[in-house]
Structures are given as C-alpha cells and as structure tokens.
Chains A and B, each alone.
Chain A
Amino acid sequence: MATNEVPAQARWRRRERAQTAGLLSAPLLWLVFFFVVPVGFITAYSVGAISIFPTDAGVLSLADWRRFLSGDTIYTGLFWKSVRLSLTVSIAVVILAYPVGYYLALCVRKRKYVLLLAIIAPFLTSYLLRVLAWKVILGDKGVINSLLVTLNLRGADEPIQWLLYSQFTVMLVLAYVWIPFVALPIFVSLDNLDRSLLEAAGDLGAGRLRTFWRVTLPLSLPGVVAAFVFVFVPTIGEFVTPLLVGGTSGYLYGNAIQDAFTRGLDWQFGSVLAMFLLLVVTGLMMVFGRFVQVRSVAG
C-alpha cells in the first residue's frame, strides 16, 4: 500500500504545482512585461544605458544623476516643495477624515454603510471634474468672487486673485479630492475594533478621552498609516491639479517630470527625476509597508 501511495502523492503534488504555475503565469507575465521591465527601462535610460533619440549620447554615464543630486538645479528645491506640500495635505486629510471614520464606525448603528457610501461616492466621480469645480468656485468670476460683488463687498473689477493659482489652492483641492478615499481605511480599522476593549477600559476606570488615547487611537494606527501612505504616494507625484489650479507658484516636482518628457524632451534627465521619485516612494513603503495591510486599505 505504502509503496503505491508515495508515487500517487508525488504525482498529485506535481500536478498541483503545474496548476499553480498555470494560474500565476498570465498575471505575472503581464506585470513583468508591462511593469517591471518599464521600470527597468527608465532606470537604464537614466544612466544612458539605452538611447532612443538621435541626440542621446548612448554611453553609460551618471552625469544626469550627479547634476540632480548635487542640488545645483531647481529640481531639488521643487522636490522638497512637493514633499512639504503633500505631507501637509496627507496629514490634514487624515486629521479631517479620522472623526468621520470614528463617527461612522463607533457611533452610528444603523445605515453606517449608506453613510459611508455617501462619503466615498465623490471619489468615483471624475478627478478632473472635481478639480475643475474648484476652478469655477475660486476663479475671478467664480462663485466666491461674484458673491462678494453681489454683496457689494468688492468691486466687479477687483476680484480676490489669490483664491486661484496658489500653493494653498493646490493643497485645498488635493485635500478635497482625497478625503473620501482616506475615510475608508480609517473606518475599516475602527470598525474592526473589538468594542468590548473600550468597555473594559471604561470598567477599569478610564474616561472616554483616556480610552481614546490609550486604546482606540493606538489600535486604529494601522488604518491611519495606511490612509497617510495612500494619499502621500499619489500626491507627491501629482501634476494635474497644479496644472489646473496651481499657476506658477503651484508648480511641483511632478510638473517638472512631465515637462521633461513632453516639452523639454530631455527624457534622460526626466528618467532621473522619475526614478528618484520611485526610489523615495519605495523607501517609504519599506519603512511603513509592514504597517500597511493592503487588505485593510481596501477593506
């Protein structure tokens, strides 16, 4: 018997292995060809290992990296400006979304998913459109300025111009755009919280505030970190919102990358800028990655 079983088991295991390979091959091949290889290509391009245009030198050189890292170009400043801006936005958004997640997860009993959907639904509408809405609201002839004119608080020919095309506008619009998305992971982490822990804290004499600081907040930190990362990553590479509402003072690192590829046509230097951004994000994920349960982000 035993001698028969072993080959059967081995055969079965072999077949299972073949099946697993079959399941994985298509998704993995797609990602390797269209995700890993492209990232490899800009890495290679950033050091001149491949050439696309006749003007490309086609010789290995770290010159562009050195030019960028030396800090003599405007790009280092732009990078830090982007970091500052998206840090501010991410923190503000998390702080704004936290009470909403808290309210929905712990205070609402009935219809909490309907209310959650109400918060998330705007995220499903066009991104460009939501940015555009603010252009209409804050513009020279926009909602706020025309309201001021109607109320005779300001003349028709002297609108408040700083409302649009400033760093503040970029931050406001980015916060507006990302709040719905951020409410989700925070809600999920609070909703999965064992309520009896809160009751236990109360029984042991902790007031609500103390319970919040010592129990609820620490337990919801994974959701908070996830929320933070998932706003920080897209906003640090943001270039659309600054183009629409940022003006010249809202010009960010992402715009520099886009310009390198579309206007300046300095693709090699653009690759350096893009690679650097990717390295920063990868580093960030290595630090925070273990806190970020991907599954917790999407629920």
Chain B
Amino acid sequence: MDVAASRGALRLLQAFFGLLVVFLYVPIGILALFSFNDGDASFPLSGLTTHWYRDVFENPLLVGALIRSAIVATVSSVIAVGLGVLASFALIRRRFLGKSAVSALLFSPLVIPYLVFGVSLLVVFSAVDRFLTDTFGMYIGLGLHAVVVGHVVVSLPYTMLTIMPLLERLSVSLDEAARDLGAGPWETWRRVTLPLLFPALVSAFLIAFTLSFDEYAIASFLAGTQPTWPVFLFASLRVPSQLPALIAVSTMILVVSIAMVVAAELGRRIAERRYGTTLGVAVPTQPETAGPVGFSA
C-alpha cells in the first residue's frame, strides 16, 4: 500500500498538478504568441510576423536599456559571488564569536521589502550628495553604480545559499592534503578548492544575474537618468503601440534565461556526480533536494 495517497487521491493530485502547470504556462504562452502577431496585443490575431523581433534592434533606447541591465547584472553578480564565497567560507569553515548574529545579518536582505530598501538607498545617496554639494561643491548622483550597490546586497544571500551547501560537503582534508603536499594557501585555493567549488559559483552567478537583470523596485528608485531594462520596460508599457516589440524582447530573454538555467543546472549535477564519487565529498550525499535553479540543501 502506498502510504502517501490512495489511488483516487493520486489521480486528483495528478490532475491538480496538471492544471497548475497549465495555469502557470498559458499566460506566458499567450504573451509569446502576441510577439508573432502582426497587429497590437489584442484579439483577434491578425497574422504571423517576425518583424517585431527585427524592430527590436533598431530601437536605440531599448538596446541601451538592455546593455545597461547586462552591465549592472554582470558587475553586481561578480561582486555578490565574490563576497558570497568569502562569507560562506567564514560561516562554514570557521568558528567565531557572534556567528549567529553575523549569519542573521548576512541573510537579512532576504526578508526586507525591496521597496523599503530602494527608498533607503535613495535617501542615503541623496543625503550624501547634499553633504558633498554643501562642502565640496560636487556630488555622486544616482545611476548604474547605485543600482549595482543595491543589487549586490539583495543577491548576496542567494549566492551564499548556493555556495554553502557544496562547501559544507567538500572535505577540509582535501585542503589539508594539498597543504601537506607543499601547496601554499593561494595554490590550494586555485588548484583544489576553486575547481571543486566552480559549479556552485556558476549557479550562484546565474541566480544573481537573473535576479539583477529582472529587478525593478530597487532600480526604479536608483537608476536616475540611466534606466535599466525593467525600468525602461515599465515606462514603455504605457505606450500600447510598443507592446509587441517589448513582448518580443521579453520572449527572447525568457528563452535565453531558461536555457541558461537548465544548462547551469545540468552542468552542476554532472559535476557534482563526478566529484561525488571520485573527490572528497565527505558525507554520503543526501538525496538531492530542490536541485533546480541551483538551490540545494
């Protein structure tokens, strides 16, 4: 007897699961459909076209926004992964006073409403600018740097959540063996720890990148005169004639991001499986929980 569900209950659960998948994908599908529609974003459909996809690259404002978002996402994810590695090492490999407080602080950006965080940074940047103008007659201003600063803060906990589980399972004795064999700390890191951690770093980078590339609330307060892609998208939603082109871009981003995430996840699993059998994963691996998007226990 199956303990979890009777046959009838299983059918119901299956049906419910199916319905939910439909509910989740139909809206996205409909949107994608309109990106091929030769008319505005309303029914009835008026004919097949790909010209929205071609138009995209002729709109300099749109391309500019995409480039800005790519820059912000790249820079902020690199910083977040770097900081995430440092913090993860401290939390997993070290014992120190006030560890739980430090850990709480590092993870607290997970539970701050982005709206509140966005206006807080806006206030700080404005206050600092006011001070600088009054005393030195210069100012920093808002812009991409401000967005990067904010995005690093909110993606840092996600990078740690991705790196820490793998680090926890990497045996310290590997590092020690490398040291015993004469490797300095830098060489140990470069030739032993980093390669072993690499899959988690890639996952962490991708998660941070996706988060930053799509983030609107914080960016809307901090971007100033340099709109990132979501800020630009939101502002353009008021112009119905632009809608199909915007949907076309978004569909492309969607396809690319899903492909990236799936690739990263596959890569991570292959790497983990390989290391899991041949290299120092100390504890027998638990049944992999929540593998997708690189979050794992």
| Chain A positions near chain B (C-beta within 8 angstroms) | 16-17, 19-20, 23-24, 26-28, 30-31, 34-39, 41-42, 45, 50-52, 96, 99-100, 102-104, 106-107, 113, 115-122, 124-130, 132-134, 136-137, 139, 141-143, 146-147, 150, 176, 179-180, 184, 187-188, 191-192, 195, 198-199, 201-202, 208, 211, 229-230, 233-234, 236-240, 244, 254, 257-258, 261-262, 267, 270-271, 274-275, 277-278, 281, 285, 294-299
Q: Is the contact region of chain B dominated by helix, strand, or loop, or is it mixed?
A: helix
Taking CB atoms, residues of chain A closer than 8 Å to B5 are: 106-107, 208
Assess the A38–B123 pair: CB atoms within 8 A: yes
B115 touches A239 (CB 8 A): yes
Q: A240–B217 contact, CB under 8 A?
A: yes
Alpha-carbon separation in the docked complex, A31 to B3 (Å): 47
| Interface-side segment among B99-107, B173-181, B271-279 | B99-107
Candidate in A104, A191, A236 with the most chain B CB atoms within 10 angstroms: A191
Number of B residues whose C-beta is below 8 Å from A?
98
Known contacts A27-B84, A136-B34, A141-B43; is A257 also within 8 Å of B123 by CB? Answer: no
| Distance of A154 Cα from B94 Cα, bound (Å) | 68
**A42: chain B residues within 8 A (beta carbon):** 116, 119-120, 123
A240 vs B258: C-alpha distance in the bound complex, in angstroms? 24
Contact A146 B124 (CB under 8 A): no
A121 cross-chain contacts in B, Cβ below 8 A: 258, 261, 292
Is B21 among interface residues, defined by CB-CB distance under 8 A? yes
List 24 interface pairs A-B (beta carbons < 8 Å), by A numbering.
Answer: A31-B156, A34-B121, A42-B120, A50-B127, A106-B4, A115-B17, A119-B20, A119-B21, A121-B258, A128-B234, A129-B254, A137-B30, A139-B42, A146-B42, A187-B289, A202-B1, A229-B111, A237-B116, A239-B115, A240-B234, A295-B165, A298-B162, A298-B295, A299-B291
Interface residues of B (CB under 8 A from A): 1-6, 9-10, 13-14, 16-17, 20-21, 23-25, 27-28, 30-31, 34, 41-44, 79, 82-84, 86-87, 89-90, 94, 96, 102, 105-117, 119-124, 126-127, 130, 149-150, 152-153, 156-158, 161-162, 164-165, 210, 214, 216-217, 221, 230, 233-234, 237, 247, 250, 253-254, 257-258, 261-262, 265, 287-293, 295-297
